[in-house]
Structure formats: structure tokens, C-alpha cells
Amino acid sequence: MNILVTGGTGFIGSHTCVELLNNGHQVVILDNLYNSNIHVLERIGKLTGVTPKFYETDIRDKEGLKKVFEENRFDACIHFAGLKAVGESVSKPLFYYQNNIEGSLNLYECLIAYGVKNIVFSSSATVYGDNFEAPFKEEYGRGTTTNPYGSTKLMNEIIIEDLCKANEGMSAVLLRYFNPIGAHESGLLGEVPNGIPNNLVPYIARVAEGKLDRLNVFGDDYDTVDGTGVRDYIHVVDLARAHVKAVEYADKHTGCEVINVGSGKGYSVLEVLHAYEKACGKTLPYVVAPRRPGDIATSYAATDKAKELLGFETEYDIEKMCADSYHFSVMNPNGIE
């Protein structure tokens, strides 16, 4: 298939491009490089032998988008492009709605106008809110989101479902990611957060590199194995493989499916910290800090639907996730240059 990958130079998008190319698909990347780097293209080229065609385009730019669709014929679109910082979305809601909603609407308009029937969308476990008990099952539906970022994911799910109802032959897979971490085992691709990281593993990575003093563990009084928050971590390469299966599934079906992508297992903050210590061979300091507003105690996925519909299961465990994350940070002390 010839696949348009929006946000394809980003963390999950770049790994997905590698898996798509290695599975015989063609990709065209569209990204405005707001949170990624042009050198990612060369690295995808190194890993696959193919440097993808690239458009530096913003999905808020209708004319720019139109040009991409005029110049290519796509069988499918995997839509990663968007902003993802929960805290920033609270202080800049309009920026988030403009990028993640208005930009996505422009993209969907083009998909329909140019007859691209298959779409895979990056949703998030955040749409379950704090309304349900783990394991989160797709059939629970959507809960109450607690920040504009989460609301943009929930709204996109509803918009795509409506588009599938209105446009015969349209096919969508809404992938609800749990917590993607890790990096490509080559050390060529990985996550490069801007400034001080908000997420657990990128923060631990900075502590391991000696760039931050210690980890703040947000709460140790949750009803969990050791009192710290429990999440379902998934290796980014496993997540990338799920996208290959999802886009191939979309091509053979019509309608809209919501599918969780996680390992089905939960790890506490301290368990992840200890796995990372093993990976880097150092003891990493931490202090217990107050709970972070909006956090829930436990989140992990029900994985039966991914297995049944996509034949997808994760391969990599938490040790491999931490080892690959550490390897990437050692190989790229200044990010992707």
C-alpha cells in the first residue's frame, strides 16, 4: 500500500515508518517538524534502505495539504500528527484544539475529497478517563477526559466514527495506546522530549544520564502493589508493528473499530525505576513527591480485541524497553542530530 504518515518524523511515527517499509509498504511522510527533526529521515533510510518522500507541511495549512494529495495517490493514512503534552494543553487549550481538531478536520476533508478510504488514528488510553477499572476494555466506551489533550483524542474518535457512518466504504481503526516507551534497538530512533520531560521513562533517562538529580515519584499512597502508580508500558517497536497490522486490517474491512494497544500488564513507578537501574547498571536516586493532579492509580489494557482482530501481541518486556531507551540516550546525548 502507499501510505500517508502524518507526524511520521515523530517518536511513534518514525518507528512505524520503519516497520511499514520493512513489510513492503511505501510511505510518504508529512510533518511540520514542530516536535521532530529532519535527520530522522536519514535514519529511517539507514534502517530500511529507503528514505521516504517528505513534505514539511502543517495540517492546519489547507493549501499545503491539498498539494500533498494532488501529487500522490494514497491507499491509506496513518494519522499521528498532533500535540501531546497534557500539562501544556491545560495552559494552551486553543493551540491544542487548533492543531489536533482543526488540523485533523482539514486532513479528513482531503481523505474524503481524494477517495482515501482507510485511516488509522492515534488515540489514547486517556479516553477511558477515571470512570472504569483496569483492565480497560474497548466496549466500556469513553469516560470523562480531564484535560484538553485528552478531549482532542476523544473528539477525534467521535469525528472519525461519524465519517465512517456517512461515507460508504470508509474504514478506520482507532488505536488506543497505553504507555509507549523504549527505542529502536539500533539506537538510531527514539524519543527526544523538549526541555524537562513530563513522562516517567524519559525523566528516568535524564537521571541516568546525570542531567537531572533524582526522580520525583508522584505519590506512594495509591492502592497498588507498592503504593505508586501502575501503567501498561509498551515497546514503541511493538506499537509500530500494531500499526502495520491495523492498516492492513483497515484495507480489508469497512466501518470503525476501536482497539487497545498495550501489553496487558501493569508496572508500578518503582518497578520501572528498578528495571531501568538494571539496564544502566546504576542506582538511580528518587524522592516521593505529592500525587500529580489528574493521575489515576492503575491503568492497563484488555488485549483480547487486538489479538482477535489484528493477530497482535507484544513481544518485548520491560527490561528490553528500558535497555533500548538507555541505549538510545547513550548514543544520542544531544538528541537526533
Which residues of the chain form contacts with ligand NAD (CB under 6 A)? 7, 9-13, 31-36, 58-60, 80-84, 99, 103, 122, 124, 177, 180
Measured over the CA atoms of residue 193, residue 195, residue 197 and residue 201, the dihedral's sign is positive
Strands 2-6 and 267-268: unpaired
Burial of residue 197 (CB within 10 Å: 0-12, 13-18, 19+) is: middle
Binding partner selected for residue 218 from ligand NAD, ligand UFG, none, CB under the kind-specific 5 to 8 Å limit: ligand UFG
Binding mask 132-151 for ligand UFG (x = CB under 6 A): ------------------x-
What cell was used for 201? 521513562
- Provide the CB-side half-sphere exposure for 205 (13 A, CA): 30
Question: Contact between 218 and ligand UFG (CB under 6 A)?
Answer: yes
Q: Which is nearer to ligand NAD, 39 or 282 (CB)?
A: 39
Task: Specify whether the CB–CB gap between 123 and 153 falls below 8 A.
Answer: yes
CA angle 13, 54, 260 (to 5 degrees): 20
Q: Which is nearer to ligand UFG, 32 or 179 (CB)?
A: 179
Point out the residues that are catalytic. 149
Q: Which stretch binds ligand UFG (CB under 6 A): 41-49, 67-75, 96-104, 211-219?
A: 211-219
- In whole angstroms, the minimum distance from the beta carbon of 168 to ligand NAD comes to 27
Binding partner selected for residue 292 from ligand NAD, ligand UFG, none, CB under the kind-specific 5 to 8 Å limit: ligand UFG
The maximal CA–CA distance of the chain, rounded, in angstroms, is 57
- 332 vs 189: CA distance, rounded Å: 9
Interface contacts to ligand UFG, rule CB under 6 A:
84, 86, 124-126, 150, 178-179, 198-200, 203, 215-218, 229, 231, 269, 292, 295
